[in-house]
Amino acid sequence: MRWNPDTPLSDLFENFFRSHSNERMERKHYDCSPSTNILEKDDSFELHMAVPGVKKEDVKIDLEKNVLSISSEKKAEKTEEVEGKYSRREFLYGTFCRSFTLPETINVDKIKADLKDGILKVILPKKEETRITKEIKIA
């Protein structure tokens, strides 16, 4: 059996057999891909992305051609000295980037975004001629 040092089990062994130094935890770079829901409505798509603890100043949304990219970089913040020594630190800081190819039916001039309670909501309005709601009368 081969040993893979990048498994959760390796962290467990490291905690048991090494000192309680936080060096490894602080050096480790954490990347994640936030969970995202996409909701289709009659007049728009809504993209809901879970980004707990991320401030709106840390989020960047770009549109190049028909690709919407959402990214964030969160650096470790300076904290006050606390009495005692941490035996484990799990507050994570890192980056993410998600890209979505938009259909041509999106009105890119009217895209809006809002961040509230850890959920980034991006509204992608449909062009007027592509809306799906239409009532058809029976003759």
Is residue 134 domain-resident? no
Is residue 10 domain-resident? no
Name the residue among 111, 7, 128, 9 with its Cα closest to residue 61: 111
Q: Which two tokens stand for residue 102?
A: 């938009």
Residue 5 has what pLDDT?
Answer: 52
Structural domain range at position 45: 30-74+93-129
> What are the beta bridge partners of residue 72?
59, 96
Is residue 36 domain-resident? yes
Q: Which two tokens stand for residue 137?
A: 């009368």
Sequence-distant (6+) residues with CB within 8 A of 114 are 120, 121, 123
Residues in the chain: 139
Is residue 111 domain-resident? yes
Instruction: Give the number of C-alpha atoms closer than 13 A to the C-alpha of residue 73, restricted to the C-beta side.
Output: 2
For the chain of 139 residues, list the mean pLDDT of each consecutive stretch of 10.
Answer: 50 47 41 85 94 90 94 71 71 81 93 96 89 73
Q: Which two tokens stand for residue 57?
A: 């100043």
Residue 1 has what pLDDT?
Answer: 46
Residue 130 has what pLDDT?
Answer: 65
Residue 10 has what pLDDT?
Answer: 47
Residue 64 has what pLDDT?
Answer: 94
Is residue 64 domain-resident? yes
Number of domains in the chain: 1
pTM over 0.85: no
Is residue 8 domain-resident? no
Is residue 49 domain-resident? yes
CATH of the domain at 125: 2.60.40.790
Is residue 115 domain-resident? yes
